[in-house]
A and B are shown apart, each in its own frame.
Chain A
Amino acid sequence: MPSTVETPPLLEVSGLTKTYGSFKAVDDLSFTVFPGDVFGFLGQNGAGKSTTIRMLLTLIRPNAGQIRVFGMDLQQHRREVLSRVGAVIEKPDLYGYLTGQENLSLFARMSGKGITKDRIQETLELVGLQKRAGDRVKTYSQGMKQRLGIACALVHDPDLIILDEPTNGLDPQGIADIRNLVLSLSREQGKTFLISSHLLAEVELMANRMIIIDRGKKIVEGSVRELVDPQDRELHLEAEDDGFAVACIEKTRWADQLMRDQLPQVVLRMANAEIPALVDALVAEGVRIQALRPVNRLEAYFLSLTHA
């Protein structure tokens, strides 16, 4: 299970900065990932997610900042750290002229660990590619390439797995498969994941902790439970007559929970447990409720960033 903040961090990023000329792709970014976390790394396209991930994998040199993984400085212990990290960076590009098995075997041999044929077979089965393992990768669908990319990241049994937009280009079934794979590896084998995405809903389903970045800067970091708290959510009420609904709410004990800055929209901040009582009270007053929808504050916030 995901660890708590008392556990020593598995990945510690502090003051990470990368500039290209006058453009700051990543700006003084700091965050922490604990052992067993499924850590969501959120941001709109171009927010600096891939640049950060490339710095975590030593593909790009930061201008400033420090990265510590497994308690070691990444630059000083690069080889040792990377032997315990698996990654899929953006698209799962592999050698199209080689078969799936050859690709996997090739990257396994580069891991510096003695990977057996059984382990390769086991990994292919884990991602459901055993039947197509002998086919050239250029004949694979996008979903199969994505699964093979994940197999390449997992074959050497890493402790930290970094997946950059792992569900890009996948159909709903493919997305569900990836999600289930991440969750099972996290729960059953205690693997730590850092998953970047521009889709909040996707991260909410997998992650226990998350960070949102925008223009290279951290906007918010914390546990998903805290950030997307079902006990303190906003509800958007739609009635036949919104004005009458507001007047009725003003007379109830939930008057203080009415978000007046949202008017004329009827939005209340309240716990899930209180919803039935509110509905009963309003119906008793003769309010004809048409809809009651939860508003995810984080999502609203995230969307405002995306639409900015």
Chain B
Amino acid sequence: MINLIRLELFKIFRKPRTYIAFGAVAGIIWLIQLGFWADGESYINFGMAALSETFDVQGRVLNGYLLAYIILQTLLVHVPLLIALVSGDMISGEANMGTLRLLASRPVSRTQIILSKFLASFVYTMALLVWMAVWTLFFSLFIFGADDMIIMKSEVVTQISAADAAWRYVAAFGFAALAMVTVSALAFLLSIFAENSIGPIMATMSIIILFTILNSLNLPIYQEIKPYLFTTHMLGWKGFFDVAVNASNEQIPGSVENLPAVMRSAGMLLLHVILFLGASLYVFKRKDILS
């Protein structure tokens, strides 16, 4: 099995398409960092104008932690496409090239083929997330330095000390990884049904867009299904930046306001991964390979 995973990783990382995602992530992050480096202060001052009238805000508001948060919010909407580029190609790409019949006629079981390919796409997803984390967090901290992080939401302002921010990012990236693996598993499942990779990639993105639209519609008819849509839970990483407060309304360092909700979202995502992978195994084991 390890041998098969190695072979799959070899194929993924020898394919030029794989590096589109790494290049795109680095490029987008670099552009955001450049923009904030050139004009970030005025942008932040504008955003903080109302707050500054009431509070005396000291220190570096525009710091690496805040920028990493902004970048994560921006990028995690687009990364699924980059994930689908590779995962949606795992089976359909082989069918398109005509190599699927060669793989499936080797002395390895179809279960092994699916698991090795899925695990290889999992490694790719992790690699992309680590790459994103390095560019987002480390380079932002390197360029903009570290300080307390101020997050403004519609009704509340949360201040997280620099010492309390780092672990939240680790947890947020961990959660984001699970969300991206869910997307990867969906694209992987869809790739079994197609003989070219465009279909699964488009189908994955269409499903994500459709579910996201359903999430944003506050209509009673859709309220019942929202908890079961994986897109509802994909932004659960933000929960790590909601800090719990004590009876005196003081923040408790190292706490998360609603950890059960975050864990519930993680559980839902994990359940989706298992469902998508199980369906992939079920379909592929019964599939006649005609490509």
Contacts and interface: CB of A to CB of B under 8 A. Distances in A.
A97 B97 CA distance: 11
B117 to A, nearest CB: 13
A54 B107 contact: no
A250 interface: no
A87 B105 contact: yes
A225 interface: no
Interface string B103-128: 11111110000000000000000000
Given A54-B101, A89-B105, A152-B102, A110 B289 contact: no
A110 B106 CA distance: 7
Interface in B82-99: 97-99
Contacts of B264: none
Most chain B Cβ neighbours within 10 Å, of A79, A110, A112: A110
Interface in B1-55: 3-4, 7, 10-11, 14-16
B98 A93 contact: yes
Interface stretch (A26-34, A56-64, A204-212, A285-293): A56-64
Contact of B15 (A89, A90, A97): A97
A218 B73 CA distance: 65
B219 interface: no
A95 B105 CA distance: 16
Contacts of B221: none
B108 A54 contact: no
A151 to B, nearest CB: 12
Given A97-B14, A97-B15, A57 B105 contact: yes
B97 A82 contact: no
A299 interface: no
Nearest to B289: A59
Contact of A89 (B11, B16, B101): B101
B155 interface: no
B101 A59 contact: yes
A58 B104 contact: yes
Given A54-B101, A97-B15, 11 more contacts: A54-B290, A82-B106, A89-B102, A89-B105, A90-B101, A91-B98, A93-B97, A94-B99, A96-B97, A106-B11, A152-B102
Interface of A: 54, 57-61, 78-83, 85, 87, 89-91, 93-98, 102, 106-107, 109-112, 152
Give me the 9 closest cross-chain CB pairs, A-B, nearest first. Answer: A93-B98, A57-B105, A83-B107, A82-B107, A59-B289, A110-B106, A60-B288, A79-B107, A112-B107
Interface of B: 3-4, 7, 10-11, 14-16, 97-99, 101-109, 286, 288-290
17 contacts: A54-B290, A57-B105, A60-B290, A61-B288, A78-B107, A79-B107, A82-B107, A85-B105, A94-B97, A95-B11, A95-B97, A95-B99, A106-B11, A107-B106, A110-B4, A111-B107, A112-B107
